[in-house]
Amino acid sequence: MSKIISAKVIICSPGRNFVTLKIETESGHYGIGDATLNGRELAVAAYLEEHVLPCLVGRDAQKIEDVWNYLYKGAYWRRGPVTMTAIAAVDVALWDIKGKLANLPLYQLLGGASRDGVMVYAHANHKTVAGTVANALDLKNKGFKAIRLQTGVPGLASNYGVSKHKDFYEPADGDLPVENAWSTEKYMQSVEQLFVEARRSLGWDVHLLHDVHHRLSPIEAARLGKDLEPYRLFWMEDASPAENQKNFQLIRQHTTTPLAVGEVFNSLWDCKTLIEEQLIDYIRATIVHAGGLSHLRKLACFAEIHNVKTGFHGATDLSPITMAAALHFDLSVANFGIQEYMRHSDETYAVFNRHYTINEGYMLPGEAPGLGVDIDESLAAKYPYKRAYLPVNRLEDGTLFHW
């Protein structure tokens, strides 16, 4: 028994907003979990503070599976991003505690290392094709084995994935949602050119990825996948919205470009058909938004028997706590595919001390007990929450579209 004596939510904004849960036990240990849901941070903080934390105090921090089910089944209301983010925060904090109690890095508790390092993909973007390819070449020369390429679309003022700053990508930058404009026709004309140029400059010994960010209908996605086949993408991500999982049957029938989907999923139930019918190649769940390590272990086992590999979300709106949790998971899981990596700002890294390292395109979670990430609470207090929304997206005639 390792009794939970306190649990609190820490909200800070060192460059961007993060919500962190800290759980302390009677034995003098503590664990931390990320609870950040981009653009909806305070909803999760309130869910935790008002509804979850009062039931946690007094419980055994060692009983991770029991606590998970207590919060999931015990709420009666199931799933949804706010609930599953709150549960993930508790789950990851409890795994952190368990690692510290065992005096072992988390990956050892998850079965031990299955590989020497975790292959990550880095991000190259620019408003022009030439600029994106130049940035990608730079990343390849730094040792990255896989690179995601995004570029501006001629005729559109802005586009998903193209940042203002070369090294940082931060889409949640409006005190109210910024409005972007979208044209599928213009996008479709521009994207193939990006991969023609990329293969010409980067060659074939580097993995190339692309994120469609849910902007195509299934038949459009099928066509794009087919058009991109000659460039041998590692994956085409979020080609089409997947609430209706059968959408992917059409895409799958028409293209051999590997498909990745799922950064907005909250649970196994969001991808049951996609996996069972082998409609995708990579599941892109987010540890913090899909119930934490305990739930993703089940999802990964289910995926393994259907030839689906992991390719977890790792954008900067997931705190270094989620990055560390992902790295422990990736190092240990049998059906690891790839891990997204996006550098956090120096302010973020100063608040979240980390033991994970990156070398030649591979990452390791480090050998510190538990997650190997800590939060400097007094520094965090110097960065108060700042409301920030993700953009919305409209077609050129004003129709609200997917962002």
Nearer to ligand EZ4, 379 or 390 (CB): 390
With CB under 5 to 8 Å by kind, the binding choice for 171 among ligand EZ4, Co ion, none is ligand EZ4
Is the CB of residue 218 less than 8 Å from the CB of residue 248? Answer: yes
Nearer to ligand EZ4, 152 or 369 (CB): 152
Instruction: Find the catalytic residue in 29, 213, 313, 328.
Output: 213
Which region among 109-117, 261-269, 366-374, 383-391 touches Co ion (by CB under 5 A)?
261-269
Is the CB of residue 240 less than 8 Å from the CB of residue 213? Answer: no
**In the complex, least distance from residue 161 CB atom to Co ion, rounded to whole angstroms:** 8
Helix and strand element counts for the chain (H, E): 14, 18
Task: Indicate which single residue of 16, 126, 210, 213 sits in contact with ligand EZ4 (rule: CB under 6 A).
Answer: 213
- Of 246-275, which residues contact ligand EZ4 (CB under 6 A)? 263
Name the amino acid, one letter, at 227: D
Residue 313 annotated among the catalytic residues of the structure = no
- Of 40-69, which residues contact ligand EZ4 (CB under 6 A)? none
Distance CA 356, CA 133 (A): 28
Residue by residue, DSSP assigns 99-139 as: HHHHTSBHHHHTT--SSSSEEEEEEEEESSHHHHHHHHHHH
Nearer to ligand EZ4, 24 or 237 (CB): 237
- Of 315-374, which residues contact ligand EZ4 (CB under 6 A)? 315, 317
Please tell me what DSSP assigns to residue 308.
P
Distance CA 391, CA 403 (A): 7
- The β-bridge partners of 18 are 12
Instruction: Find the catalytic residue in 47, 107, 160, 341.
Output: 160
Q: Which helix (H) or strand (E) holds 250?
A: helix 247-254
Binding mask 182-211 for ligand EZ4 (x = CB under 6 A): -----------------------------x
Nearer to ligand EZ4, 25 or 85 (CB): 85
Nearer to ligand EZ4, 263 or 374 (CB): 263
Reading the block at residue 44, the tokens are 């999760």
Residue 213 annotated among the catalytic residues of the structure = yes
**In the complex, least distance from residue 29 CB atom to ligand EZ4, rounded to whole angstroms:** 31
Q: Which helix (H) or strand (E) holds 25?
A: strand 18-25
Q: Is 283 helix (H, G, I), strand (E, B) or coil?
A: strand
Binding mask 300-319 for ligand EZ4 (x = CB under 6 A): ---------------x-x--
Residue 219: CA atoms inside 13 Å, Cβ hemisphere, count?
A: 0
With CB under 5 to 8 Å by kind, the binding choice for 317 among ligand EZ4, Co ion, none is ligand EZ4
Distance CA 170, CA 160 (A): 10
How are beta strands 373-375 and 207-211 bridged, if at all?
Answer: unpaired
Q: Is 170 left (phi over 0), alpha (psi -120 to 50) or beta?
A: beta
- Of 155-174, which residues contact ligand EZ4 (CB under 6 A)? 171
274 phi, psi to nearest 5 deg? -55, -40
Q: Does 38 bind ligand EZ4 (CB under 6 A)?
A: yes
Task: Indicate which single residue of 34, 197, 211, 220 sits in contact with Co ion (rule: CB under 5 A).
Answer: 211
**In the complex, least distance from residue 213 CB atom to ligand EZ4, rounded to whole angstroms:** 6
Q: Is 396 helix (H, G, I), strand (E, B) or coil?
A: coil
Q: Which residues are catalytically annotated?
A: 160, 213
Return residues touching Co ion (CB under 5 A): 211, 263
Return residues touching ligand EZ4 (CB under 6 A): 38, 171, 211, 213, 263, 315, 317, 390
